Amino acid sequence: MIDVEDLIALVRNYNPRTNADLLHRAHDYGRLMHEGQTRQSGEPYFTHPVAVAAILTEMQLDDATIVTALLHDTIEDTKSTYTEVARLFGDEVAELVDGVTKLTNLQLSSTQSKQAENFRKLFFAMSRDLRVILVKLADRLHNMRTIKSMKPEKQAQKARETMEIYAPLAGRMGMQWMREELEDLSFRVLNPEARNSILRRFITLQREAGDVVHKITNDIRSELDRAGIEATVYGRAKKPYSIWRKMQEKDLAFSRLSDIYGFRIIVRDVADCYRALGVVHQRWRAVPGRFKDYISQPKQNGYRSIHTTVSGRDGKRVEVQIRTREMHEVAEAGVAAHWSYRDGQRSANPFAVDPAKWIAQLTERFEEGDHDEFLEHVKLEMYQDQVFCFTPKGDVVQLPKGATPLDYAYAIHTRIGNACVSAKVDGIRVPLWTRLRNGQSVEIITAEGQKPQSSWVDIVTTGRAKAAIRKSLREEDRGRFVKLGRELARVTFERFGKKATDKALLTAARTLGLPDEDELLARIGSAELTAQKVVETLYPELASAPDTVDATRPVVGLADDQTFQRAPCCCPLPGERIVGITYRGKGVVAHAIDCPALIDLEEQPERWIDLHWQSGRHAAVHTVPLELTISNAAGVLGRICTLIGDRRANISDLHFMDKKPDYYRIVIDVDLRDVEHLHNLMMALDAESDVARVTRLRDQKRRP
């Protein structure tokens, strides 16, 4: 559970003038009132009000709303009363808590009442202060996030109620991010087979169509740049539930769907909105009847944007939304933008709608029977190419998308990165592999004696961080790496009929911009540089023909924003059947289809991704550990290394596991092209008289 100090830190992040004493008192009172109560999961009940308050801090709401979240179940579920809440926290908070209680008591899930009537009840109940519905929506969102602890029939009831009432209401209020999450959580409960089917079909479509979103996004950016319009362009495929709903409404098979991609253009001012529209329509053919101008005719919730649908690349229909940055802020927060804080003051966004006028207009429209907006398509979440985070002093640090607290630490200073032991994001301690989001405040915790770990290289995304980590690791193991690098260089040079003399190594080092041969050998030994690359630098005529498959993207089936790595437990090779598993902070990890680690993941089908290797010739960069038992005799290890080099395989690491008077047991990490390359190498090693045993090492202790 988030403690009170972390919660206050979340509020203070956007409202430095928050009343910390008020939040402390509300937290202590709520915890006291709910003492002894538990949730279905067995957790203390008060974890729920605190989680609801934390959700509301994401909307940057005022202190009264945060306090209401902490107390929203006290009048209904404890011995607390309206009078006591008013005495302790004021009439404003008491009114809000009472309003949330009345909303909770509405029988919204009744199958006898129509959806419009349910909404009418909601509007009348929240008409005195719209913040009560913001608390109720956050309450429902947390309940849906933790719904698995409920009985199946209760899950289904809550999911239907959420899908029919709360998700459309969140959309109507302009809070599209909440609508999408509520719909997806409900869809997962009500029709998990359909949701998984959509995900599988989408993976197939992406594999067949290629990087469509990235290509169209670049096309739009190029056209806008040519016209001299400064803009940010985002694009992505639509959400599974949005696609499923369209299939049901239009009675279409997935393969016949169009308009499943959407793009958003953010420009400086209103004039640029219409200039950008002209550029889009000049470059692509507009689809008749699919143009809406919500700038000249804003929605009731303050939403402003231009919508158009065009036939894009390869005839695919795509939706394009065009708006200014201020319009975009309201599009993300909806009616809640009225209460948003910035530097301790209410945000003065000119497009934020007045809640009282909005609720009055909405109720009036209900009487007219206009329900079309409840069925509007779900709007797209934006992609962020960059992330802007804040230091504890308020300075801005710019990082690429997917950056972690470690990237942040190294962006501040290499010394801070090397000494990093943990991090706090928005006042909450998080793992170092956490992906940072825009606007978050990051605090790095360091300790004397801390040194970078080898696993950090796979956690960070910035080149600066990777270089700093590798440099530190090199310095720590420099002696071992120099010795190993010298042996690898000798073997590789001899394979090409050359000698790895000191002069040759120094010449190669200077050509590659390195200070001396020891640095060159250390990099070879640490696998940052291959010995073959050194040979090719000195003797370009010996360079092999380039491989046809891109080594950075050797598999098919990944989404545009997904990263890829091979599972360290099974180290699959091209030519072997694989499956992708999503891991938090690690992207997609490819496992061999027979990897025992998959047994533990059978009950989590949502994490499985259909992958297969790219066709063509792969580069020899796929590392596989081989365990060998060899004779303890002079020259044997050298001959083994030579044999491996002769098979066009590179040794990236070597460990002695067991040393006996008559034999050695060693593990050699070998970089290979594919499974055929592996079989040929193992057959050659097995035929060597000084090799008693050779096996491919699959270590289940080295799981992702």
Give the list of residues 6+ apart from residue 530 with CB closer than 8 angstroms, or none: 524, 650, 671
The answer to whether 76 is a known catalytic residue is: yes
Annotation says 77 is catalytic? yes
What's the chain's length in residues? 704
Extract the tokens encoding 64: 């009264």
Tokens of 584: 């938090």
Cβ atoms 641, 488 nearer than 8 A: yes
Give the burial string for 128-152 (b: 16+ CB within 10 Å, else e).
Answer: ebbbbbbbbbbbbbbbbebbeebee
User: Where do the H-state alpha helices sit in 191-269?
Assistant: 192-209, 212-226, 240-250
* SS3 state at 207: helix
Q: In this structure, what token pair is assigned to residue 56?
A: 């509301």
77 CB burial (10 A radius; 0-12, 13-18, 19+): middle
CA–CA distance, 306 with 267 (Å, rounded to integer): 12
Question: CA quadruple 381, 385, 391, 395: dihedral positive or negative?
Answer: negative
- 274 contacts: CB under 8 Å, gap ≥ 6: 306
What does the alpha-carbon distance between residue 530 and residue 553 come to, in Å, rounded to a whole number? 20
The helix or strand, by DSSP H or E, that contains position 270, with its residue range, turns out to be helix 270-283
Cβ proximity of 43 and 145 under 8 Å: no
Strand partners, 650: 671
Distance CA 306, CA 279 (A): 13
Rounded to the nearest 10 degrees, what angle do helices 531-538 and 502-511 cross at? 90
Q: Which of 5, 58, 76, 92 is catalytic?
A: 76
Give the relative orientation of helices 355-368 and 115-126 as an angle to the nearest 10 degrees.
150
Distance CA 423, CA 432 (A): 7
The helix-helix angle for 63-71 and 47-58 (nearest 10°) equals: 160
Q: Alpha carbon of 453 to those of 98, 472, 482, 652: distances in Å?
A: 53, 9, 19, 18
Catalytic residue among 5, 6, 43, 77: 77
- Cβ atoms within 10 A of the Cβ of 370, count? 10
Pairing verdict, β 442-446 and 608-609: unpaired
CA gap 307, 278 in Å, rounded: 12
Instruction: Find tokens 């594999």 and name the residue.
Output: 207
Task: Confirm if 245 and 301 have CB atoms less than 8 A apart.
Answer: no
Q: To the nearest 10°, report the CA torsion of 294, 300, 302, 308.
A: -20
Q: Return phi, psi of residue 143, to 5°.
A: -60, -35
Give the catalytic positions in this structure: 76-77
